[in-house]
A = this chain, B = another copy of it.
């Protein structure tokens, strides 16, 4: 954190916008006009546009006590891009609005935007507009992301088919365990401010929470290998909640195998320190930003070479409901909170 402190009020609203946008270089040919006018202008070259938006509030979605502002800026962009990839589309532009109270200095805001621009650069998207306003209390972030997709190549949640394979990218549950560590250390710090945080060895799970990535590579893999998922969404609220969305929206049931759910060894070891079940973290943790998708069984061969994709189950007729087969062979109904041991 820089030690200088410039009052944001010393710049004025337009000075602030000039300051925050002074280094923008548009990367997308479709960005005809960016920040600095009433609105941005975007060209399409025959593609369709995908749009998504997220509102992030301090104290609800993030805690600045353990979230570096640069990471927050990065993550704010990434969670929106994840929604664009979940449509099988390529993100192209974002607009970002922020509300800030006077407890934030210009240097603090610059750190946030450093993260925003780092994400834009990594994912090749242009920041083309936004709004900056004062808030009475707390930091408010609203991001809208636009993306493009060839007509009829976008993938909805509601179009999975019976017999399709249910697949996920990456590994699950780590961000949730990272959150448990940071909340524990915050609690210790609040009670004994002299104690240094003990996060030794937990950089994997903490990194998954503070600096998630969107699965650009998976969508590129689909395009390169001529794979069109029948349904897809990103995993932000935990695997079981998202599986239930696909089942409900597609009017299907499913079978999920616990042993197939991808979890990292670092996550398992970290979960054991809290004496919690790694599978429960994967099912209910949230903030993974991995992709959950369904494909026809005939496409299975196309997937096997990608180690970042796991087949975790299959879709059934709706009457069979949504179930998980545990490692012990038990069968339980999936609930939004994980699974219900009573059924």
Contacts and interface: CB of A to CB of B under 8 A. Distances in A.
Contact of A44 (B44, B55, B83): B44
Given A43-B151, A86-B38, A97-B54, A140 B140 contact: yes
A224 interface: no
Contacts of A99: 55, 57, 60, 140
Interface stretch (A19-27, A117-125, A127-135, A297-305): A127-135
Interface string A55-97: 1010111000000000000000000000110110100010111
B87 A37 contact: yes
Q: Give the copy number.
A: 2
A147 B39 contact: yes
Contacts of A157: 36-38
A87 B234 CA distance: 34
A136 B137 CA distance: 10
A233 interface: yes
B40 A156 contact: no
Contact of A48 (B32, B51, B86, B233): B32
Given A137-B137, A140-B99, A154-B33, A48 B41 contact: yes
Interface residues of A, number: 61
B54 A131 contact: yes
Contacts of A156: 33, 37
Contacts of A47: 44
Contacts of A60: 99, 133-136
A161 interface: no
A326 interface: no
A138 interface: yes
A94 to B, nearest CB: 10
A164 interface: no
Nearest to A245: B14
Contacts of A41: 48-51, 87, 149, 154
Given A39-B51, A51-B146, A99-B140, A57 B93 contact: no
A49 B44 contact: yes
A53 to B, nearest CB: 4
Given A43-B48, A95-B144, 8 more contacts: A36-B249, A38-B234, A39-B83, A53-B95, A55-B98, A55-B142, A57-B136, A60-B135
29 contacts: A36-B249, A37-B156, A37-B158, A38-B83, A38-B84, A38-B86, A38-B232, A38-B233, A39-B50, A39-B51, A39-B86, A40-B50, A40-B52, A41-B87, A41-B154, A44-B49, A49-B49, A51-B93, A51-B129, A53-B96, A53-B144, A55-B131, A55-B140, A55-B142, A60-B135, A97-B142, A99-B140, A137-B138, A140-B140
